Chain A
Amino acid sequence: MSVLEVEDLHAHIYTQKGVVKAVDGISLKVNAGETLGLVGESGCGKSMTCLSIMRLLPRPNGQIVGGRIMLDDHDLVQMNEQQFRGIRGRLISMIPQDPYTSMNPCFTIGNQLMEPLRTHLGLRKSGLIERAKQLLDLVRIPEAISRLKNFPHELSGGMRQRVVGAIAVSCHPKLILADEPTTSLDVTIQAQYLYLIKQIQAEFGMAMIYVTHDLGIISKVCDRVAVMYAGKIIETAGIAEIFQQPAHPYTQALFSSIPPIDHDVDWLPSIEGQPPELINLPTGCRFFDRCRFAMERCQGKYPPEFQVGKKHFTSCWKYVL
């Protein structure tokens, strides 16, 4: 049963230089309780996909120009802002990347933690404090009651990000969008955070979209992975297939260009060149000029999605006979 279904989503950003096609026709599905990893390099549109789902694209320049985003029976694109406010933070919530900028420095963490509880769940007074305390306990913050009166700057980065996590799960949402929540944390603190996220997810049975570029993290939290390149999803597969048999040449090259920890390599094959500019996209395959297997027809038309295994799809002409 899928919680979220995105169909042919297009999101554009209008700039002085031209139209940036940040998200250019992506479709994805997230099932209940499942974690979908969204992988790609900067500028490939993974964050923009999240912001489109949250309807938080930069205004007035960013716009969803086509496609459907279905959360159960609600079409999130057609909704007006008033209706969407009942969804954002209630049914879908987001853990942004940087806990230093995502919390308001002028309010206590208690205040920020109670805000969604008050507006969405209608909790008041003692019930509110009780629930806030439970949430801090859930994310393993000791002495919860006194912590509620702390301001964000009084907490370490790891603790702050845990508070942000607590705010995100406070109303038992159906879907959490985690946009690289651990990039600003240290490695050992990052491991603690991932461990915690997995536990909470298992407890509440939420679906999650986890945006990252770190293969170690993907292997730890994701059930399925979608790889993005220049605004499109180029490959989706289960976690085992993506590591054992990556199908798209970009995925293959990307995985082999990351230095391994558990064995020595003499030389890493690197991907030469740069990703294309999103203002000026080629008509054919977007990986064409960096691809080892590039053929003539790759340049002419964008490849359709092709099934290469059970629940394993890729957009590459190599697999189309």
Chain B
Amino acid sequence: MNVGITLIEVSDLVKYYPLTKGVFRRVVGWVKAVDGISFTIPPGLTYALVGESGCGKTTTVKVLLQLEEATSGHIFWKGQNLFKLKADGRKNYREDVQAVFQDPMSSLNPRMRVKDIISEPLIANKRCSKGEAFSRAIELIVDVGLQREDANKYPHEFSGGQRQRIAVARAIALNPKLIVLDEPVSSLDMSIRAQIMNLLKKLQEQYGISYLLIAHDIGTVRYMSKYMAVMYLGKIVEKGLSSQVCSRPYHPYTQGLIISACPVRPGEKFGAPLPGEIPSPINPPSGCGFHTRCPFAIDCCSNTPPPWMELQPDHFVACHYYKEHGSIAADEIQEHLNVSLRGVITI
């Protein structure tokens, strides 16, 4: 990605949480929630972070929304260091970056009317008068596919999908540059998911907003995002164009994820799943964090962190296997994936 056109650049971001013991809260260890990740979000596009629970995607979001302080590393917002911004700049940043959360039941105040929920950011940031804010709220309500009359209702009067629409309207009220979508559709029913995803895509085109999408469903990520990064144990293991990563995953973990989620064709058996469970982030394995479960692990995986390699333009993977075997390994591993996907490895 070209550095000149990035909206936000995260570089070597680290977030450790202390583990304390005793009355004096002596620090006895660290939970390495996010352990040195870097990515850049281009303007007007969607960047996705994928991974299983505990891989650090939500912690990344918390740091990005300035709800947590980073242990080390930098975030550059339009070229400026976010952690060194003055009160003024911070306020602007908070207006420019909004969020939509997973559960619209708990992220909307049950005692506020819809128009109050949506106009609150406008009024709090003194963008306009109360009257103007209400009329803008009505416009937004129509924009997200609800009825004008819904403005005076309370959140409990809506279904899950409609509530998520309200949350989206609130997020776009300030014309932000970036919206963080933390699992925006995973609490919704299947037929409603497509409605919300299409709404988000429509609004992106209309307003030119960037999205940072956090998800665990590969299908959602592929549909919504241009770029994606796969996280495992606080680190990014593979990143690149979503369509490339999904159709030609290189990292064994990405392959495992995709094999696990992909439907098998009728009459075929499904491939062997990845063995083992995710290790604890308190004492993550040395070297490559994935070597304990990796079917291709070699000696150096357990002691040296894997280097980044660009195997295709704009498609990076952190894996020793490719360092050792180069592009031959890429074909070989791809062969393995095809075999697993087609289910020749039977039970």
Contacts and interface: CB of A to CB of B under 8 A. Distances in A.
The yes or no verdict on A and B being binding partners is: yes
B274 A253 contact: no
Nearest to B274: A188
A193 B53 CA distance: 17
B65 interface: no
Interface string B312-341: 000000000000000000000000000000
Contacts, number: 118
A17 to B, nearest CB: 14
Given A187-B260, A199-B347, A220-B264, A261 B218 contact: yes
Contacts of B195: 270-272
B247 interface: yes
A259 B223 contact: yes
Contacts of A218: 263
A187 B197 contact: no
B169 interface: no
Contact of A261 (B52, B222, B224): B222
Interface string A142-164: 00000000000000101100000
B4 interface: no
Contact of B261 (A42, A156, A187, A269): A187
B191 interface: yes
A259 B277 contact: no
Contacts of A267: 198
Interface residues on A, range: 35 or more
A279 B240 CA distance: 49
B190 A257 contact: yes
Contacts of A244: 266
A218 B263 CA distance: 8
B330 to A, nearest CB: 19
Determine which residue in A188, A195, A198, A216 has the highest number of CB atoms from chain B within 10 A of its CB, and name it: A188
B256 A271 contact: no
A294 B302 CA distance: 61
B219 A243 contact: no
Nearest to A257: B194
Nearest to B216: A187
Interface string B254-293: 0011111111111100101111011000000000000000
Contacts of A269: 194
A187 B51 CA distance: 9
Contact of A191 (B266, B274, B277): B274
Contact of B197 (A202, A215, A239, A268): A268
Nearest to A140: B275
Interface string A226-248: 00000000000001100110000
Given A213-B190, A244-B266, A191 B259 contact: yes
Contact of B246 (A261, A271, A272): A261
Contacts of B272: 195
A56 interface: no
A192 B347 CA distance: 12
B189 interface: yes
Interface residues on B, range: 35 or more
A264 interface: yes
A296 interface: no
B40 interface: no
A159 B219 CA distance: 27
A260 interface: yes
B278 A260 contact: no
B74 interface: no
Contacts of A257: 190-191, 193-194
A261 B258 contact: yes
A156 B273 CA distance: 18
Interface string A194-205: 110011001000
Contacts of A202: 347
Contacts of B259: 191
A187 B52 contact: yes
A219 B264 contact: yes
Nearest to B242: A264
Nearest to B199: A270
A240 B191 CA distance: 22
Contacts of B261: 187, 216, 261
Nearest to B53: A186
7 contacts: A186-B216, A188-B273, A219-B263, A240-B267, A257-B194, A258-B219, A271-B194
Interface of B: 52-53, 159, 161, 189-195, 197-198, 216, 218-220, 222-224, 243, 246-247, 256-267, 270, 272-275, 277-278, 347
Q: Which 7 A-B pairs have the closest CB atoms?
A: A270-B194, A191-B273, A240-B266, A259-B223, A191-B260, A219-B263, A259-B219
Given A219-B266, A261-B258, A261-B263, 18 more contacts: A41-B191, A159-B277, A187-B261, A188-B260, A189-B52, A194-B270, A195-B270, A202-B347, A220-B264, A260-B219, A261-B219, A261-B246, A262-B246, A262-B262, A268-B198, A270-B195, A270-B197, A271-B195
